[in-house]
Amino acid sequence: MPEMLIREALREAIREEMLANERVILMGEDVGPYGGAYGVSKGLLEEFGPDRIIDTPISELGFVGAGIGAAMAGLRPIVEIMTINFSFLALDQIINSASKIHYMFGGQVSVPVVIRMASGARLSVGAQHSHSIEGWFAHVPGLKVAVPSNPADSKGLLKTAMRDENPVIFIENTASYGMKGEVPEGEYYVPFGKARIARQGKDVTIIGYSGSVIEATKAGELLAQEDIDAEVIDLRTLRPLDKEAILESVKKTGRCVVVEHAWRFGGFGAEIAAIIQEEAFDYLDAPVGRVAGVEVPMPYSMPLEVAALPTGEQVVEAVRALF
């Protein structure tokens, strides 16, 4: 299997789907000659031309809405929002329109649009450019939310997203575009709602998604040195959520810690904890632990930013507290 970076895996997915279906278009700020703010669309303009690789003005509400409308009329748009922070400007279109149209009009029309965006912190870009709000989108029925953590899933989930008949919020981790890994060639689709067991274990379940899979995995390795055998789960999609994988693992281990970069209060980790206590209460040996971002706008200063985000060591501590 060839090795590639996440940005290359995403590009391959887009390219393959564009070759397979003329109705797939890509639009967003600087996706053309510039090749995308994170280099995902490099070379696509040359290959597919300006009718299919469309540079937009800086007007997120407008072009996201246009993507949704195009999807309602037979195109298969991928809309790139440069970063998740700018999706706030388009939330009206995403939530009031994209997520509701299929239901509100009695299933007469579907909205097959993929809205990609880069999320997360760790790049010292400060309070207005460091959000992790995957959980906000997951809160909305009608949306699907994919949160890949590695190159293979980036390709496989994006290809699946592009075959979906519903709006998919596809969230890439800003700090991980340069991550390298093996990626299956050609046709490769990763199902939605199927978590990946990143590490098998029997003593505790550690759950991560998107960028936090890194800390979850690191904790698994550190715990192994202390003879705690952790099972690490990478959710891959938040909606649909692989409840079965979570519950099966927790029933085996009796302990669970959720790791996320997002703010803790009202976060996605709380939803997972609630599901576990509702459906696996009798199997638990300890309360579900949560390791999350500190509840502040992301500070610029490096030592503060480091302190505001979870570490593998904090996850290890949270696991130890369960024993």
Partner 1 sequence: MVVSERSLASISKEELGKLLYQMILIRRFEEKAAEMYARGKIRGFLHLYIGQEAVGVGVISRLRADDYIYSHYREHGQAIARGLDPKAIMAELFGKATGVSRGLGGSMHIFDISKRFMGGYAIVAGHMPLACGTALAQKHLGTDAVTVSILGDGAVNEGAFHEALNLAAVWKLPVLFLCENNFYGMGTAMSRVSASTDIYKRAEAYGIRSEQVDGMDVIEVAKKTEQALQLIRRGEGPYFLEAITYRFRGHSMADPELYRDKSEVDHWRQNDPIKTFSDALIQGGMFNQGEIEVVWKKVEEEVEEAARFADESPFPDVSTLTNHMYAPSPLDNLQTEGPLDA
Ligand X SMILES: Cc1ncc(C[n+]2csc(CCOP(=O)(O)OP(=O)(O)O)c2C)c(N)n1
Residues forming the active site? 60, 129
Per CB under 8 A, the list member of 46, 182, 191, 300 interacting with partner 1 is 300
Mask 79-98, x = binds partner 1 (CB under 8 A)?
------xx-xx---------
- Helix%, strand%, coil% for the chain, nearest 5: 40, 20, 40
CB of 191 to partner 1, least distance (A): 36
Query: Coil, strand, or helix at residue 242?
Result: coil
CB of 145 to partner 1, least distance (A): 23
Q: With contacts defined by CB under 6 A, name the span among 81-89, 223-231, 258-266, 314-322 that binds ligand X.
A: 81-89
CB of 125 to ligand X, least distance (A): 10
Tokens of 173: 């981790």
**Of 115 and 213, CB closest to partner 1:** 115
Q: Single out the residue of 262, 271, 272 nearest to residue 295, CA to CA.
A: 262
Tokens of 75: 């195109």
Per CB under 8 A, the list member of 21, 22, 47, 128 interacting with partner 1 is 128
Residue 200 within binding range of partner 1, rule CB under 8 A: no
| Spatial contact of 26 and 10, defined as CB atoms under 8 Å apart | no
Q: Single out the residue of 143, 148, 71 nearest to residue 112, CA to CA.
A: 71
Q: Hey, how many other C-beta atoms are within 10 angstroms of the C-beta on 246? A: 22
Per CB under 6 A, the list member of 38, 48, 63, 86 interacting with ligand X is 86
Cα–Cα distance, 114 to 10 (Å, whole number): 13
Cα–Cα distance, 192 to 235 (Å, whole number): 10
Residue 29 within binding range of ligand X, rule CB under 6 A: yes
How many residues bind ligand X (CB under 6 A)? The answer is 6
| Pairing, β 289-293 against β 168-173 | unpaired
**Of 83 and 149, CB closest to ligand X:** 83
Residue 56 within binding range of partner 1, rule CB under 8 A: yes
**Of 175 and 224, CB closest to partner 1:** 175
Residue 57 within binding range of partner 1, rule CB under 8 A: yes
| Spatial contact of 53 and 44, defined as CB atoms under 8 Å apart | yes
Residue 89 within binding range of ligand X, rule CB under 6 A: yes
Q: Which helix (H) or strand (E) holds 90?
A: none
| Spatial contact of 64 and 90, defined as CB atoms under 8 Å apart | yes
CB of 117 to partner 1, least distance (A): 14
Q: State the residues that interact with partner 1 by CB under 8 A.
A: 29-30, 32-34, 37, 55-62, 85-86, 88-89, 123-129, 294-296, 299-304, 307-308
Q: State the residues that interact with ligand X by CB under 6 A.
A: 29, 58, 60, 82, 86, 89
